[in-house]
Amino acid sequence: MTKNFPEKRFLYIITPMRIGIDFDDVVADSMQVIVDLQNKQYGTSYKLRDATSFHLEDIWGGTKEEWQSKIDEFLSTKHLASLNPMAGVISALDALKKNGHELYIVTGRSENYVEATEQWIEKHFSDTFNGVHYANHIQADPGQRREKSDICKENGIEVMIEDYMKNAKECADAGIRVFLFDQPWNQGELSANMERVRSWDEIVQKLS
């Protein structure tokens, strides 16, 4: 005689969190725009995979000031149409929102980029983020800089998704869980509280 057992059902509970997300090269595919426009305007043939340092003057020559001037132009409102969302980010952020998480942009961009940044966010993610915070790391006056860890602590952000190793380690050292979004310029050993991820799908899985 065959005995039928009741079907087992499992209940998975996701605890809503506040999640901080870097903007450039985590949400927006910024470095690819910089490489493409550099090649187009200056006749070079640089590849994204060769950008093994966050400081482009270290790998492609020129001065820090020259590269900052180029980046200011390439990431301005003039080139907004060239800046695409990262692969998989739209559906991933939608899934995180549906799971009850609060999402905050925490960017090293200075307030000089506010117009371009918020126009782009409005175009692609008009109802996604609960707030946008500028750390002013790209800022002539060092006194205007803020650490991303301080912004996270002030706003109750428990998880930070970042691509710049220095910022990632600083947040991790402050006790914030960090997902380091894999990029050519952030290779190396990770600190405690840090985990390397290679796609937005992977991030959603880990937060589910």
Report which of residues 141 and 200 the model is more confident about: 200
Report which of residues 138 and 150 the model is more confident about: 150
Does the structure show a pLDDT above 70 at 137? Answer: yes
Say which DSSP state 62 is in.
S
Rounded CA gap, 118 and 63, in Å?
Answer: 29
Rounded CA gap, 77 and 121, in Å?
Answer: 12
Report which of residues 35 and 6 the model is more confident about: 35
User: Which residues, 6+ apart, have CB-to-CB distance to 101 below 8 Å?
Assistant: 16, 17, 18, 19, 207
List the Cα angle 123/103/51 in 5-degree steps. 70
Does the structure show a pLDDT above 90 at 20? Answer: yes
The amino acid at residue 145 is R
In the chain, the domains with their CATH numbers are 18-29+84-206 (3.40.50.1000), 34-82 (no CATH)
Rounded CA gap, 73 and 66, in Å?
Answer: 11
Q: Compute CA distances 150 → 83, 133, 135, 180, whole Å.
A: 28, 11, 9, 18
Q: What is the dihedral of CA 185, 79, 66, 114, to 10 degrees?
A: -80
The amino acid at residue 76 is S
Which string of b and e fits 9-41 if b means at least 16 CB within 10 Å? eeeeeeeebbbbbbbbbbbbbbbbbbbbbbeee
For residue 184, the model assigns a pLDDT of 98
* Model confidence, pTM: 0.90
Q: Compute CA distances 199 → 60, 76, 111, 129, whole Å.
A: 27, 26, 28, 20
